[in-house]
Amino acid sequence: MTISNKLADSHKTVAVIGGGPAGMSCALWLKQLGLFPILIEKDQKLGGLQQASHFQNVWYLGLSGHTGYELADIFQQHMVAENLTILFASQLKGIIKAGEYFKIVTKSDEFTARSMVIATGQRIKGYEDIKSVPGSHDLLSSQRVCFNPGATPLLVDKLDRQVVGIVGGGDNGLVTAIRLANTAQHIHLFVRSQLRGFALNQQEILKLIEAGKVTLHQLATIDQFEVSQENISITFQDEKQQPNQVILDYICFRIGFAPNAKDIVQLLEQGKVGALELNQGGYIATDQFLRTSIPNIYAAGDVTNPRDPCVATAVAQGAIAARSVDEDLKNSN
CA pair distance 34, 326, nearest whole angstrom = 9
pTM > 0.75: yes or no: yes
pLDDT reading at 2 higher than 80: no
**Of 69, 75, 76, 4, which Cα lies nearest the Cα of 36?**
4
pLDDT in tens, 168-212: 999 999 999 999 999 999 999 999 998 998 999 999 999 999 999
Percent of all residues in the chain with a pLDDT value above 70, rounded to a whole number: 98
Options 3.50.50.60, 3.40.50.2000, 3.40.640.10, 2.40.10.10; CATH for 5-124+258-332 is 3.50.50.60
Helix axes 171-180, 199-210, angle to 10 degrees: 40
Paired residues of 140 in beta bridges: none
Query: What is the enclosing helix (H) or strand (E) of 171?
Result: helix 171-180
CB atoms within 10 A of CB 162: 18
pLDDT reading at 264 higher than 70: yes
CA pair distance 27, 240, nearest whole angstrom = 52
> Residue 106: which pLDDT band, with cuts at 50, 70 and 90?
very high
- The SS3 of residue 27 is helix
Q: How do the domains of the chain map onto residue ranges?
A: 5-124+258-332, 127-255
24 φ, ψ (degrees, to nearest 5): -65, -45
Domains 5-124+258-332 and 127-255 share a fold: yes
CA pair distance 74, 5, nearest whole angstrom = 28
CATH architecture of 127-255: 3-Layer(bba) Sandwich (3.50)
pLDDT in tens, 144-157: 999 999 999 999 99
Query: Which whole number is the average pLDDT over 243-263?
Result: 97
Contacts from 218-223 at CB under 8 Å and sequence distance 24+?
Answer: 218/191, 218/193, 218/194, 219/191, 219/192, 219/193, 220/190, 220/191, 220/192, 221/192, 222/130, 222/133, 222/167, 222/190, 223/133, 223/134
94 φ, ψ (degrees, to nearest 5): -160, 145
